[in-house]
Structure 1
Amino acid sequence: MNVVFKILDPKDIHLIIPLVFELNKGNIPETTLKIRFSEMVTQNYECAVTFADGELIGVCGLWFCTRHYSGKSVELDHVFLKEGFRGKEIGKQFINWIEAYIKSKGYETMELNAYVNNHKAHKFYMNDGYDILGYHFLKKLQK
Protein backbone atom coordinates (compact mmCIF):
# COMPACT_ATOMS: atom_id res chain seq x y z
CA MET A 1 0.00 0.00 0.00
CA ASN A 2 1.35 3.42 -1.01
CA VAL A 3 0.56 5.93 1.78
CA VAL A 4 1.10 9.66 1.23
CA PHE A 5 0.79 12.50 3.77
CA LYS A 6 0.47 16.11 2.67
CA ILE A 7 -1.06 19.51 3.31
CA LEU A 8 -4.20 19.91 1.23
CA ASP A 9 -4.37 22.87 -1.12
CA PRO A 10 -7.13 25.15 0.26
CA LYS A 11 -8.91 25.07 -3.12
CA ASP A 12 -9.42 21.31 -2.62
CA ILE A 13 -10.91 21.58 0.90
CA HIS A 14 -14.22 20.15 -0.31
CA LEU A 15 -12.52 16.75 -0.68
CA ILE A 16 -12.53 16.22 3.10
CA ILE A 17 -16.27 16.85 3.60
CA PRO A 18 -17.28 13.14 3.41
CA LEU A 19 -14.69 12.18 6.05
CA VAL A 20 -15.66 14.97 8.44
CA PHE A 21 -19.34 14.15 7.85
CA GLU A 22 -18.58 10.53 8.85
CA LEU A 23 -16.57 11.67 11.88
CA ASN A 24 -19.57 13.65 13.11
CA LYS A 25 -21.91 10.72 12.41
CA GLY A 26 -23.96 12.87 10.06
CA ASN A 27 -24.95 15.32 12.81
CA ILE A 28 -23.67 18.30 10.81
CA PRO A 29 -25.19 18.58 7.31
CA GLU A 30 -22.70 18.45 4.43
CA THR A 31 -23.95 21.84 3.20
CA THR A 32 -23.06 23.37 6.58
CA LEU A 33 -19.64 21.69 6.53
CA LYS A 34 -18.95 23.11 3.05
CA ILE A 35 -19.77 26.65 4.21
CA ARG A 36 -17.71 26.33 7.39
CA PHE A 37 -14.65 24.86 5.69
CA SER A 38 -14.78 27.57 3.02
CA GLU A 39 -14.50 30.10 5.86
CA MET A 40 -11.90 28.10 7.82
CA VAL A 41 -9.37 28.08 4.96
CA THR A 42 -9.31 31.90 5.13
CA GLN A 43 -8.25 31.80 8.79
CA ASN A 44 -5.11 30.38 10.54
CA TYR A 45 -6.07 26.90 9.36
CA GLU A 46 -4.41 24.23 7.25
CA CYS A 47 -5.57 20.70 6.53
CA ALA A 48 -3.32 17.64 6.58
CA VAL A 49 -4.53 14.59 4.69
CA THR A 50 -3.42 11.06 4.00
CA PHE A 51 -4.00 9.00 0.90
CA ALA A 52 -3.61 5.23 0.47
CA ASP A 53 -3.18 4.15 -3.13
CA GLY A 54 -4.77 7.42 -4.23
CA GLU A 55 -7.81 7.16 -1.93
CA LEU A 56 -8.33 9.88 0.68
CA ILE A 57 -8.42 7.98 3.98
CA GLY A 58 -7.47 10.49 6.67
CA VAL A 59 -7.82 14.11 7.66
CA CYS A 60 -6.55 16.42 10.38
CA GLY A 61 -7.22 20.13 10.66
CA LEU A 62 -4.44 22.34 11.99
CA TRP A 63 -5.20 25.62 13.80
CA PHE A 64 -2.10 27.79 14.27
CA CYS A 65 -1.93 30.25 17.17
CA THR A 66 0.08 31.46 20.17
CA ARG A 67 -1.32 30.66 23.61
CA HIS A 68 -0.22 32.07 26.94
CA TYR A 69 0.18 28.61 28.52
CA SER A 70 1.84 26.74 25.66
CA GLY A 71 3.54 29.25 23.36
CA LYS A 72 3.38 28.76 19.59
CA SER A 73 0.81 26.00 19.35
CA VAL A 74 -1.12 23.99 16.81
CA GLU A 75 -4.49 22.56 17.72
CA LEU A 76 -5.35 19.39 15.86
CA ASP A 77 -9.01 19.32 14.87
CA HIS A 78 -11.35 16.76 13.28
CA VAL A 79 -8.71 14.02 13.29
CA PHE A 80 -10.15 11.07 11.41
CA LEU A 81 -8.92 7.90 9.72
CA LYS A 82 -11.30 5.62 7.83
CA GLU A 83 -12.16 2.52 9.81
CA GLY A 84 -10.60 -0.04 7.45
CA PHE A 85 -7.22 1.66 7.82
CA ARG A 86 -7.09 1.80 11.62
CA GLY A 87 -4.80 -0.53 13.56
CA LYS A 88 -2.25 -0.58 10.73
CA GLU A 89 0.10 2.11 12.17
CA ILE A 90 -1.11 4.63 9.55
CA GLY A 91 -2.62 6.87 12.24
CA LYS A 92 0.66 6.88 14.18
CA GLN A 93 2.63 7.65 11.01
CA PHE A 94 0.17 10.45 10.15
CA ILE A 95 0.51 12.08 13.58
CA ASN A 96 4.32 11.72 13.42
CA TRP A 97 4.32 13.37 9.98
CA ILE A 98 2.12 16.21 11.30
CA GLU A 99 4.43 16.66 14.31
CA ALA A 100 7.49 16.93 12.05
CA TYR A 101 5.65 19.41 9.81
CA ILE A 102 4.62 21.54 12.78
CA LYS A 103 8.16 21.52 14.21
CA SER A 104 9.53 22.57 10.82
CA LYS A 105 7.32 25.67 11.04
CA GLY A 106 8.78 26.57 14.46
CA TYR A 107 5.83 25.60 16.67
CA GLU A 108 6.36 24.38 20.24
CA THR A 109 3.26 22.39 21.17
CA MET A 110 0.41 20.34 19.75
CA GLU A 111 -2.96 20.05 21.43
CA LEU A 112 -6.35 18.61 20.62
CA ASN A 113 -9.79 17.75 21.87
CA ALA A 114 -11.25 14.25 21.73
CA TYR A 115 -14.88 13.36 22.21
CA VAL A 116 -15.54 12.20 25.77
CA ASN A 117 -16.78 8.75 24.72
CA ASN A 118 -13.95 8.09 22.24
CA HIS A 119 -11.85 5.91 24.54
CA LYS A 120 -9.75 4.45 21.71
CA ALA A 121 -8.64 7.96 20.76
CA HIS A 122 -7.83 8.77 24.39
CA LYS A 123 -5.59 5.71 24.59
CA PHE A 124 -3.97 6.51 21.24
CA TYR A 125 -3.08 10.08 22.25
CA MET A 126 -1.96 9.17 25.76
CA ASN A 127 0.33 6.50 24.29
CA ASP A 128 1.74 9.23 22.05
CA GLY A 129 2.68 11.46 24.98
CA TYR A 130 -0.35 13.73 25.26
CA ASP A 131 -1.56 14.75 28.73
CA ILE A 132 -5.14 15.57 29.66
CA LEU A 133 -5.15 19.19 30.82
CA GLY A 134 -8.85 19.85 31.30
CA TYR A 135 -12.31 19.77 29.83
CA HIS A 136 -13.47 21.49 26.67
CA PHE A 137 -16.75 23.34 27.19
CA LEU A 138 -19.14 24.48 24.47
CA LYS A 139 -22.16 26.75 24.71
CA LYS A 140 -24.39 27.30 21.69
CA LEU A 141 -25.55 30.88 21.55
CA GLN A 142 -29.21 31.48 20.85
CA LYS A 143 -29.98 33.68 17.85
Structure 2
Amino acid sequence: MSFDIKIINKESIEIVIPLVEKLNDYKIDFEVLKQRFSEMITQNYECAGVFDGKKLIGVCGLWFLTRHYAGKSLEIDHVYINDEYRNRGIGKEFFKWIYNYALAKGCNTVELNTYATNYASHKFYYNEGFNILGYHFVKKL
Protein backbone atom coordinates (compact mmCIF):
# COMPACT_ATOMS: atom_id res chain seq x y z
CA MET A 1 0.00 0.00 0.00
CA SER A 2 1.39 3.39 -1.00
CA PHE A 3 0.80 6.68 0.79
CA ASP A 4 1.55 10.27 -0.18
CA ILE A 5 2.84 12.79 2.31
CA LYS A 6 2.62 16.47 1.46
CA ILE A 7 2.02 19.95 2.80
CA ILE A 8 -1.68 20.78 2.80
CA ASN A 9 -2.56 23.89 0.85
CA LYS A 10 -3.50 26.73 3.21
CA GLU A 11 -6.76 27.27 1.32
CA SER A 12 -7.69 23.64 2.11
CA ILE A 13 -6.70 23.66 5.79
CA GLU A 14 -10.23 22.81 6.97
CA ILE A 15 -9.79 19.22 5.75
CA VAL A 16 -7.62 18.51 8.82
CA ILE A 17 -10.29 19.46 11.36
CA PRO A 18 -12.11 16.07 11.47
CA LEU A 19 -8.82 14.34 12.35
CA VAL A 20 -7.81 16.99 14.89
CA GLU A 21 -11.23 16.61 16.54
CA LYS A 22 -10.47 12.91 17.15
CA LEU A 23 -7.21 13.80 18.90
CA ASN A 24 -8.69 15.79 21.74
CA ASP A 25 -10.38 14.33 24.83
CA TYR A 26 -12.21 17.62 25.21
CA LYS A 27 -14.53 18.82 22.48
CA ILE A 28 -13.96 22.07 20.63
CA ASP A 29 -16.72 23.26 18.33
CA PHE A 30 -15.98 22.82 14.61
CA GLU A 31 -16.52 26.53 13.96
CA VAL A 32 -14.04 27.45 16.70
CA LEU A 33 -11.44 25.09 15.21
CA LYS A 34 -12.14 26.51 11.75
CA GLN A 35 -11.49 30.05 13.03
CA ARG A 36 -8.34 29.00 14.89
CA PHE A 37 -6.87 27.19 11.89
CA SER A 38 -7.60 30.18 9.64
CA GLU A 39 -5.59 32.29 12.10
CA MET A 40 -2.81 29.70 12.50
CA ILE A 41 -2.08 29.63 8.76
CA THR A 42 -1.19 33.34 8.94
CA GLN A 43 1.57 32.55 11.44
CA ASN A 44 4.69 30.35 11.07
CA TYR A 45 2.46 27.30 10.73
CA GLU A 46 2.17 24.63 8.06
CA CYS A 47 0.32 21.35 8.08
CA ALA A 48 1.44 18.04 6.59
CA GLY A 49 -0.94 15.26 5.66
CA VAL A 50 -0.72 11.57 4.86
CA PHE A 51 -3.03 10.56 2.03
CA ASP A 52 -4.31 7.17 0.94
CA GLY A 53 -5.29 8.17 -2.56
CA LYS A 54 -7.41 11.28 -2.00
CA LYS A 55 -8.36 10.32 1.57
CA LEU A 56 -6.58 12.22 4.37
CA ILE A 57 -5.58 9.58 6.93
CA GLY A 58 -2.94 11.41 8.97
CA VAL A 59 -2.07 14.93 9.94
CA CYS A 60 0.66 16.88 11.69
CA GLY A 61 0.98 20.59 12.40
CA LEU A 62 4.40 22.19 11.87
CA TRP A 63 5.39 25.36 13.73
CA PHE A 64 8.69 26.97 12.69
CA LEU A 65 10.45 29.12 15.27
CA THR A 66 13.76 29.94 16.89
CA ARG A 67 14.28 28.92 20.50
CA HIS A 68 17.01 30.35 22.74
CA TYR A 69 17.89 26.85 23.93
CA ALA A 70 17.58 25.00 20.62
CA GLY A 71 18.14 27.37 17.71
CA LYS A 72 15.94 27.09 14.63
CA SER A 73 13.35 24.51 15.51
CA LEU A 74 10.30 22.71 14.25
CA GLU A 75 7.59 22.16 16.84
CA ILE A 76 5.37 19.26 15.83
CA ASP A 77 1.71 19.68 16.79
CA HIS A 78 -1.53 17.65 16.71
CA VAL A 79 -0.14 14.42 15.25
CA TYR A 80 -2.87 11.97 14.36
CA ILE A 81 -3.14 8.83 12.22
CA ASN A 82 -6.60 7.27 11.72
CA ASP A 83 -7.10 4.20 13.90
CA GLU A 84 -7.54 1.78 10.99
CA TYR A 85 -4.15 2.83 9.55
CA ARG A 86 -2.10 2.43 12.73
CA ASN A 87 0.58 -0.21 13.25
CA ARG A 88 1.54 -0.24 9.57
CA GLY A 89 4.71 1.87 9.86
CA ILE A 90 2.97 5.00 8.56
CA GLY A 91 3.91 7.06 11.64
CA LYS A 92 7.57 6.14 11.25
CA GLU A 93 7.52 7.10 7.54
CA PHE A 94 5.62 10.30 8.36
CA PHE A 95 8.25 11.31 10.92
CA LYS A 96 11.10 10.50 8.53
CA TRP A 97 9.43 12.86 6.03
CA ILE A 98 8.98 15.51 8.76
CA TYR A 99 12.66 15.33 9.79
CA ASN A 100 13.79 15.77 6.18
CA TYR A 101 11.37 18.66 5.71
CA ALA A 102 12.69 20.34 8.88
CA LEU A 103 16.28 19.94 7.71
CA ALA A 104 15.39 21.43 4.32
CA LYS A 105 13.90 24.44 6.16
CA GLY A 106 17.17 24.90 8.11
CA CYS A 107 16.01 23.50 11.45
CA ASN A 108 18.45 21.79 13.77
CA THR A 109 15.94 20.53 16.35
CA VAL A 110 12.46 19.05 16.43
CA GLU A 111 10.27 19.18 19.50
CA LEU A 112 6.71 18.34 20.46
CA ASN A 113 4.17 18.11 23.24
CA THR A 114 1.97 15.12 23.88
CA TYR A 115 -0.89 14.52 26.26
CA ALA A 116 0.26 13.01 29.56
CA THR A 117 -2.24 10.16 29.23
CA ASN A 118 -1.37 9.28 25.62
CA TYR A 119 0.94 6.40 26.54
CA ALA A 120 1.10 4.93 23.04
CA SER A 121 2.50 8.22 21.72
CA HIS A 122 5.11 8.31 24.52
CA LYS A 123 6.46 4.94 23.44
CA PHE A 124 6.48 6.03 19.78
CA TYR A 125 8.36 9.26 20.55
CA TYR A 126 10.90 7.50 22.76
CA ASN A 127 11.51 5.05 19.93
CA GLU A 128 12.01 8.03 17.60
CA GLY A 129 14.78 9.34 19.86
CA PHE A 130 12.87 12.12 21.65
CA ASN A 131 13.75 12.92 25.26
CA ILE A 132 11.66 14.71 27.86
CA LEU A 133 13.04 18.19 28.40
CA GLY A 134 10.35 19.66 30.63
CA TYR A 135 6.64 19.97 31.32
CA HIS A 136 4.09 21.91 29.31
CA PHE A 137 1.77 23.94 31.53
CA VAL A 138 -1.46 25.64 30.42
CA LYS A 139 -3.55 28.23 32.25
CA LYS A 140 -6.86 29.34 30.78
CA LEU A 141 -7.48 33.07 31.07
Asked if these proteins are the same fold (TM beyond 0.5), I'd say yes
Alignment of 1:1-143 (within 5 A): 1-25=1-25, 27-141=27-141
Q: Deviations over 1:53-96 (max 9, x none)?
A: 32100000001000000000010000100001110000110011
SS at structure 1 position matched to 2:122: helix
Percent identity for Structure 1 against Structure 2: 55
Q: Deviations over 1:15-52 (max 9, x none)?
A: 00100011114611111100000000000000010001
- Cα offset for 1:104? 0.8
Gaps of 5+ in 1: none
SS at structure 1 position matched to 2:92: helix
**TM-score, structure 1 normalization:** 0.96
Q: Deviations over 1:94-132 (max 9, x none)?
A: 011011011011110000000000011000000000000
**TM-score, structure 2 normalization:** 0.97
Structure-1 separation of matches of 2:2 and 2:54: 8
